[in-house]
A = this chain, B = another copy of it.
Amino acid sequence: MTDYRRLRVALLGAGAVGSQVASLLRQHADELADRAGARLELVGIAVRDVDAPREVDLPRELLTTDAESLIVGADIVIELMGGIEPARTYLLQAINSGADVVTANKALLATHGPEIFDAADQVGAEVYYEAAAAGAIPIIRPLRDSLAGDRVQRIMGIVNGTTNYILDRMDTEGAEFADVLADAQRLGYAEADPTADVEGYDAAQKAAILASLAFHTTVPLDAVHREGITSIDKQMMDAARHAGYVIKLLAVCERLNAPRPSRSGEAAYRDEISVRVYPALVDRAHPLASVHGANNAVFVQAEAAGNLMFYGAGAGGVQTASAVLGDVVSAARRHIAGGVGVGESTLANLPIVPIGRVTTRYQITLEVDDQPGVLATVAGTLSDGRVSIANVEQTVAGEDARTARLVIGTHKALEQDLSETVDRLAASGVVERVVSVLRVEGD
């Protein structure tokens, strides 16, 4: 057995992911040493309560409530506590005491990313966070490194397993949202308070991280437009299926090209970007439409590389632990190699446009009076609002046979134009009700 240098690894948190990380670190010790070129010695695990029951058996002597003492002298600190504080304070302490840090904390990175990356840059440390964006799917390195010489045009990600599980079951079983959610809670796919998932907060955090990496810029969480899936009902699902679509909660990160001459005379790259999370119609032939259950996938369109897709489990303790351990090996290799952390170089501060500036296709479903001239009025209102119709279908008559349902597919339109036009339709005499307005993504 090779006589490797030892690196001191401190683990903060022993929940679903942390306990798996601790277990794998010990179970694969020899293999990890050969991979990293260093023996990864788990020196302690900081927990809130050393006596709490745990799924995985951890050596009692490694557990401590004193995170700060553990951090001092560690070469690598793994933060898997979640939440903002005290995770933020501990990570900054670790960085300032010379450790490289590994974290899966998307909430922290989405809100305090710049502060943490700056602190690391100051001391030449490195921050690894492969597990923070799409669970076990390796997406951080591809975006940060593999595509660093390319220009990402758009990312469409299914980055929340809970909502994909719910939408997939609604689609395949024709079930209602509330019923599937209750079932998902029973099965452990959704939490007792599902807000973070079903309202898109979790996906928005991941979207901010993915957009920061893809466009090499700073994306504050509050610049991410966010809509959840609680308004999606069986009828919308059925209508989507009928039209050849499936509804997915998408994190969309898009470059809005604004070519103009730069000082160097080459094409400028300081475009605007849009970052948004919402349920959208996806064509059933699109690779994202086949992402079932709680799986995640990230579809990337890059200028030179073309279309790429990364698929896998988006969550789960042991799956996420895989991504964390990959980061730990990278951190160890860097420790052995020496040199400073490569940081993020100069970030482009690309403007992030509000949702009104975004352009997509739409599907508008209206309940209208079933009488002559109605379609002409609706079409005229859309045309006046600069919304061009691609197709119209009159699907079902109302129960009283007095109303009809119009499903209108539009060409690409500006969200602001669309939104104002829908308001005018709603206020017009002929529209009884705006049933739904859904964006169509994937062209």
State the 6 A-B residue pairs at the shortest beta-carbon distance, nearest first. Answer: A149-B325, A339-B339, A138-B146, A304-B322, A37-B345, A138-B142
Give the distance in Å from the alpha carbon of A328 to the alpha carbon of B124 in the complex. 21
CB atoms of A336 and B342 under 8 A apart? yes
- Tell yes or no: A374 within 8 A of B by CB: no
Chain B residues with Cβ below 8 Å from A151 are 28, 31
Task: State which residues 1-29 of A face B: CB under 8 Å.
Answer: 1-2, 20, 24, 26-29
Give the distance in Å from the alpha carbon of A31 to the alpha carbon of B305 in the complex. 16
Chain B residues with Cβ below 8 Å from A412 are none
CB atoms of A328 and B136 under 8 A apart? no
Q: Which residue of chain B has the shortest Cβ distance to A36 in the bound complex?
A: B345
Pick the contact of A339: B264, B309, B338 (CB < 8 A). Answer: B338
CB atoms of B309 and A305 under 8 A apart? no
Stretch at the interface among A45-53, A194-202, A313-321, A379-387: A313-321
CB atoms of B1 and A263 under 8 A apart? yes
Pick the contact of A311: B35, B149, B287, B338 (CB < 8 A). Answer: B287
How many Å from the CB of A386 to the closest CB on chain B? Answer: 33
- Tell yes or no: A175 within 8 A of B by CB: no
Chain B residues with Cβ below 8 Å from A302 are 322
- Measured CB to CB, the residues of A under 8 A from B are 1-2, 20, 24, 26-37, 124, 130, 136-138, 140-142, 145-151, 216, 262-264, 266-269, 287, 290, 302-313, 316, 318-319, 321-330, 333-334, 336-343, 345-348
Pick the contact of A266: B28, B267, B342 (CB < 8 A). Answer: B28
The oligomer's copy count stands at 2
Q: Which residue of chain B has the shortest Cβ distance to A37 in the bound complex?
A: B345
Q: Which residue of chain B has the shortest Cβ distance to A146 in the bound complex?
A: B138
Give the distance in Å from the alpha carbon of A255 to the alpha carbon of B302 in the complex. 34
Give the distance in Å from the alpha carbon of A34 to the alpha carbon of B345 in the complex. 6
CB atoms of A338 and B336 under 8 A apart? no
Give the distance in Å from the alpha carbon of A316 to the alpha carbon of B32 in the complex. 36
Q: Which residue of chain B has the shortest Cβ distance to A333 in the bound complex?
A: B342
A sample of 12 more A-B contacts (CB under 8 A), given A149-B328, A309-B309, is: A24-B149, A29-B266, A30-B266, A31-B151, A37-B345, A136-B305, A138-B142, A305-B312, A306-B313, A333-B345, A336-B342, A339-B339
Pick the contact of A325: B1, B37, B148 (CB < 8 A). Answer: B148
CB atoms of A35 and B146 under 8 A apart? no
CB atoms of A148 and B326 under 8 A apart? yes
Q: Which residue of chain B has the shortest Cβ distance to A40 in the bound complex?
A: B149
Q: Which residue of chain B has the shortest Cβ distance to A311 in the bound complex?
A: B309
CB atoms of A149 and B326 under 8 A apart? yes
Whether A318 contacts B304 in the complex (CB less than 8 A), given A31-B269, A323-B146, comes out as yes
Chain B residues with Cβ below 8 Å from A28 are 149, 151, 266, 269
Give the distance in Å from the alpha carbon of A316 to the alpha carbon of B310 in the complex. 20
